Amino acid sequence: MKNLVSTEWLEKNIDNVRILDSSWHMPSSNRNASQEFLEGHISNSNFFDLDKHSEQNTMLPHMLPKKMFWERLISDLGIKNSDHVIVYDNSDIISSCRTWYNFLYFGHNSDLISVLDGGLKKWLKENRNVSKKNKLFPQSSYTAEEKLNMVLNKDQINFNIKNKTFELIDARNQERFEGLQQEPRKELKIGNIQGSKNLPFTSIVNQSDNTFKSSGELELIFKKLKLDPSKEIAFTCGSGVTACILGLANSILNGKNPIIYDGSWSEYGLK
């Protein structure tokens, strides 16, 4: 599993991979990801809209779409099953990890889907080239195969509260997890899922350039949670985006595909 690629690696291989800008920002940020893409992006990349490319027939944000929708979407982007896809973002919440998770869920070869470590923030910091051109690719015939064991629903979360079959880790900040801060979505309660543990996603990335901490550092961070080694680990957050950052970090350590509570607090915390 090639979870991460460096900016140096991408610059050398830029013509041999497919690149997606998967930037997504919290509504309160007043940033427009698609507009920012038009103003400058890594060459040969296409914009991947997390909102539009998720399940539309629900009030919950960023839920996994239907298989047929995903196949049509990725085919329209001209991405083939054999393509090595690199996802990056220019977001404070490292939204590219959610798109990485989606590709894995729909069966893309785990060695052929990677996140650009540090994203556009690091790319620009190193004065690497950007483009304003939106490159078009011929349509493909992408096929997907869902990995249903990578996603959890609310019933499974409730079952786990009673039976403790897996460890659940919440990626939100400590204040939100402990109910000391109001949720950004007004329809949500404050607090956390009973029995879950807190690991803010910001603790596993370097704030200077959004790169992931070393595997040694990640191992120590997870060790502090005192997880039961005999149990699987699943991840949750506010709306299923930052949970995937923890999922990627865990995959760096053990090579396993992440397990995500798709509805996360956007579903579980509804008043």
Instruction: Return the active site residues.
Output: 237
Q: Is 232 helix (H, G, I), strand (E, B) or coil?
A: strand
Q: How far is CA 212 from CA 3, 235, 255, 256, in A?
A: 11, 17, 16, 17
- For residue 187, the one-letter residue type is E
User: 154 with 42: CB under 8 angstroms?
Assistant: no
DSSP label at residue 147: -
The distance of Cα 59 from the centroid of its chain, to the nearest Å, equals 20
- Cα angle 49, 236, 263; round to 5: 60
Residue whose token pair is 């997907």:
144
For the CA atoms of the chain, what is the radius of gyration? Answer: 18
User: 233 with 260: CB under 8 angstroms?
Assistant: no
Distance CA 242, CA 124 (A): 23
Distance CA 112, CA 264 (A): 27
Residue 80 burial (CB count, 10 A): 16
Q: Is 168 helix (H, G, I), strand (E, B) or coil?
A: strand
